Amino acid sequence: MGLGILFFLSSGLFLGWSLGANDAANVFGTAVGSRMVRFRTAATVCSVFVILGAVLGGAGAANTLDRLGSVNTLAGAFTVALAAALATFAMTRLGMPISTSQAIVGAIIGWNLYAGMVTGTRTLSTIVASWILCPLLAAVVAVALYIVMRQILRRGHLHLLRQDALVRWGLLLVGAFASYSLGANNIANVMGVFLPDNPFRDVTVLGVTFSGTQQLFLLGGTAIAIGVMTYSERTVRMIGSGLMRLSPEAALVIVGAQALVLFLFASERLEFWLASHGLPTFPLVPVSSTQVVIGAIVGLGLMRGGRGIQLRPLGSVGLGWVATPVVAGLVAFFLLFFVDNVFDQQVARVVHYRIDDTVLARYELEGRPAARVAAWSGREGANALRLQNELEREAALTRDEAQRLLELAELAPIVVDLGRAGLDLDRDYLGVVETRALATLAGQRYEHRWQFADALAAASPLWRLRKETPLNRSWNASVRDKLAYVERVFREQPAP
Amino acid sequence: MPIFRTTREIERQIDEFLDALSKGALVFRDAVAAYLAGNGTDFAQKLRILEELETRADRLSRDVESSLYSQSLIPEHRGDVLALLEHSDDIIDRAKNCLQRFDVERPVIPQQWHDHYRRLAEAVFRCVEAVVMASRRFFREAESVSDFLYQVHHYEGEADQIGLELRRQIFADPDLELGHRQHLRYFADGIDRVADMAEDVADRLAIYSLKRRL
């Protein structure tokens, strides 16, 4: 891995550092503020578990960000992460409860606009819905936990000192869980945009495979941990004592509610478990820990009759919902322009689209209105946004229909050249059956990504995507990862 | 469990402190009875026991204070617990001072008021006993503290009534010198004051227990 790549990753690390400096306050602020846990202890526990969460559970929310917009060059990813970090920094200076999740989403949309890419509207609406759902859910969970805890304390007749010891340990344990959830949920904000250009390869140590994604997330998690250790003390103390005076028991409830809500929106395993028991699942998206904490505090406040709730922080949350993504999007757009034109760095790889007969046939096969776009056969373009608008306007397609057509029309020539000099195919990662299926396509050329995927799926069931349900999510994620890998390996390189 | 090792020790010290307070009230009552019965040896022994209990309560209170601060325990309620122990310690201190005055000044108490003094000491004992029970509940079951606070106020009121009646009778007796009357009033007040201090602790407990509820 060259120094150049490290330089590009630095903006993500900066974003991770600022996330650590700010969001650790949400996890341990109330515990430190209520003088139950020392700052140094809190920072150490938070750092360790943030890294664990990022490495072991970070994949779920990262996949969702990838679907929002796939930043396709390292310089682009650098600029997007830098824009999010700068927006986060600016909002913090203005004293607004910031959300790195909203900043990164805004910055990715800024990149989409600059690069002429379409924004996955379905994914975007899922993410925005989760921003509204999250504080509400946190409030409900906090009230439920509060009621349960009050009953336990009333019936348990614990000595004040024993209760104090239990709450103290509870704060540490639940804080560790919340830190894990924060790492798992928010690592996507920090490193998600670098996933398409991840410089790390899978390594196996003592029979345990450490994926490239996990190594990237380890780096991001470490940046978050350094932010926690070096710069979070001031915000931790401010959240703990400034926002609202809380008893240690209420602090425990709030940290617990935060941990649960972040975990619900981060854990692939939990999603699988819920789905396999016929229960509703939550979208795996990066959510704002700040807003979760504020939701939990307001929930407790309302339960006590609404006295003592300050409306100002609530107003700031509402403003933050709108302002953070907008500011991050604008900063990203201007930074991309600057990096592109002043430093002459490629911030986005141009993607070409061609609507041909094979694309239309496949479109029809999916039950989509191919007849309405029959006249478009042979149309080409390099600006997805413009094509999408024209399809919506002229062919009367819905946004979802237009986006799907463009996905199919994307040109990504792939040549399965197994004899290419220097070809370094990771057969262990792909698996024996999958590699054998790939070998049957030797010498073939595909114009579109989906053609290559279809050919692989026909060659072996292990390359087949299953129906999109939470139960199949991990299978599909694994197949997509492998597909992305072989596409990268066999992508036809443009002539110099 | 190892996580409770420290707290268990402090819990034990607090329990021991409250035991000392409870036992002190009992010894105080018996010492007044022994004095009235003219049993000097028994009185002296009771006074010595009360002095020892007061010293032990002092030491326990200091130990608990030191542990709570040095280990940053119960930050929310530390001030309340320390104030509770300090003011409870004042009760036993006051009872000891009262008995020492009996020992030094040897008041001559006419037979007709022995029963009043005995009943006064009994009401004080019950009042302190109730405040000890309320304190124990404060640590384990804050919601039920008020049940015992009611008893504290009841016995303090009873002690006030007995004391008032005693003073009225003392000052209505034409056979007593003014100095003798004042001396007897002084001891009635001294005993009654112990109940007043218990009531002060009860008033504080009422606020502390409210704060303890989530």
* Pairing between β-strand A445-448 and β-strand A411-415 as defined by DSSP bridges: antiparallel
User: Pick the residue with more confidence: B196 or A101?
Assistant: B196
> What number is the average pLDDT over the span A342-350?
84
| pLDDT tens readout for residues A57-69 | 876 666 666 666 6
What local confidence, expressed as pLDDT, does residue A60 receive?
64
How far is the C-alpha of B128 from the C-alpha of B117, rounded, in Å?
A: 16
Q: What is the pLDDT of residues A111-128, one digit of tens each?
A: 988 988 878 777 888 888
Please give the mean pLDDT across all residues of chain A. 84
Mutation target to probe the A interface, by most A beta carbons within 10 A, among B9, B141, B145, B211 is B141
Q: Which of A154, A160, A165 sits opposite B77 (nearest CB)?
A: A160
The residue-averaged pLDDT of A223-250 equals 77
Nearest to B3 among A36, A153, A169 (CB): A169
pLDDT at A496: 47
Smallest CA–CA separation between A170 and chain B, in Å?
12
Interface membership of A286 toward B (CB under 8 Å): no
DSSP assignment of A195-209, as one string? Answer: GGG-----EEETTEE
- Who wins on pLDDT, A492 or A107? A107
Contact A160 B74 (CB under 8 A): yes
Whether A343 shows a pLDDT value over 90: the answer reads no
Which of A94-98, A188-192, B35-39 has the highest average model confidence (pLDDT)? Answer: B35-39
Query: Does residue A495 carry a pLDDT above 60?
Result: no
How much of chain B, in percent, has pLDDT values that exceed 70? 98
CB spacing of B11 vs A249 below 8 angstroms: no
Cross-chain residue pair B76–A247, CB shorter than 8 Å: yes
Task: Give dist(CA A189, CA A81) in Å, integer.
Answer: 8
CB distance from A35 to chain B under 8 Å?
yes
Question: Who's near B38: CB < 8 A, 6+ residues apart?
Answer: none
pLDDT value for A382:
83
Instruction: Please enumerate in sequence order all residues whose Cβ is within 8 A of that of A308, keeping only pairs 6 or more positions apart, or say none.
Output: A244, A301
Q: What are the residues facing A446 on neighbouring strands?
A: A414
Structure tokens at A435: 């590699």
CA distance A94 to A97: 9
β-pairing verdict for A379-381 and A353-355: antiparallel
Q: Could you tell me which of A468, A441, A461 has the C-alpha nearest to residue A489?
A: A441
Residue A320 CA to residue A447 CA, distance in Å, equals 43
Q: Rounded to 10 degrees, what is the CA torsion of B105, B110, B114, B120?
A: -60
Q: Which of residues 117-176 of A touch B (CB under 8 A)?
A: 146, 149-150, 153-154, 157-162, 164-165, 169
- At B3 the pLDDT is 65
Which ipTM did the prediction report? 0.87
Length of chain B counted residue by residue: 214
| CB contact residues (below 8 A), chain B span 66-95, against chain A | 72-77, 81
What residue type is assigned to position A124 of the chain? L
- The confidence score (pLDDT) of residue A440 equals 92
Q: For residue A12, what are its two tokens?
A: 């993500």
Q: A218 and A51 in contact (C-beta within 8 Å)?
A: yes
- Domains of chain B, CATH where assigned: 2-212 (1.20.58.220)
Contacts of B74 in chain A (CB under 8 A): 160-161, 164
User: What gap in Å lies between CA A111 and CA A390, rounded to an integer?
Assistant: 21
Q: Of B82, B61, B11, B79, give the one whose Cα is nearest residue A165.
A: B11
Cβ-nearest to A161 among B11, B143, B214: B11
Greater model confidence, A329 or A423: A329
What is the rounded distance in angstroms from the CA atom of residue A492 to the CA atom of residue A35? 60
- State the average pLDDT over residues A242-249: 71
Q: Is A2 exposed, middle or buried (0-12, 13-18, 19+ CB in 10 A)?
A: exposed
Quick check: B140 and A164 CB within 8 A? no
For chain A, percent of residues with pLDDT exceeding 70: 90
Indicate the DSSP class of residue A242. Answer: I
Inter-CA distances, A127 with A195, A287, A325, Å: 19, 8, 12
Q: Which amino acid is at A38?
A: R
Instruction: Please compute the mean of the pLDDT values over residues B94-118 and round it to a whole number.
Output: 96
Range B64-83 average pLDDT = 90
pLDDT bucket at B83, cuts 50 / 70 / 90: very high
> Between A35, A158, A165, which is nearest B3 by CB?
A165
Contact A165 B81 (CB under 8 A): no
Q: B75, A36: Cβ pair inside 8 Å?
A: yes
Q: Which residues of A touch B75 (CB under 8 A)?
A: 34-36, 248
Question: What pLDDT does residue A394 have?
Answer: 87
Look at A244-248, A289-293, A371-375 and tell me which has the smallest mean pLDDT: A244-248
Quick check: B31 pLDDT over 60? yes
In single-letter form, the type of residue at position B79 comes to G
Is residue A335 within 8 A of residue A106, CB to CB? The reply is: no
Can you give the residue ranges of every domain in chain A? 3-341, 350-409, 412-496
Q: State the smallest CA–CA distance between residue A166 and chain B in angstroms.
A: 8
Q: How confident is the model at residue B60, as a pLDDT?
A: 96
Q: How far is CA A405 from CA A234, A316, A392, in A?
A: 50, 40, 11
Question: What band does A143 get if pLDDT is binned at 50, 70 and 90?
Answer: very high
Residues, chain A:
496
- Whether A35 sits inside 8 A of B73 (CB atoms) is no
Closest-CA residue of A relative to B77 is A160
Is the confidence at residue A242, as pLDDT, over 60? no
Using pLDDT thresholds of 50, 70 and 90, give the confidence band for residue A240.
low
Q: What's the rounded mean pLDDT across residues B22-43?
A: 96
Partner-chain residue, chosen from B3, B139, B143, that has the shortest CB–CB distance to A160: B139
For residues B5-18, average pLDDT: 92
Tens digits of per-residue pLDDT, A183-233? 888 888 888 778 777 778 778 887 787 888 888 899 999 999 998 898 887
Q: Is B206 on the interface with A (CB under 8 A)?
A: no
Taking 90 as the threshold, does the pLDDT of residue A154 lie above it? no
Contact check, Cβ <8 Å, B7/A159: yes
Q: What angle do CA A474, A193, A239 make, to 5 degrees?
A: 95
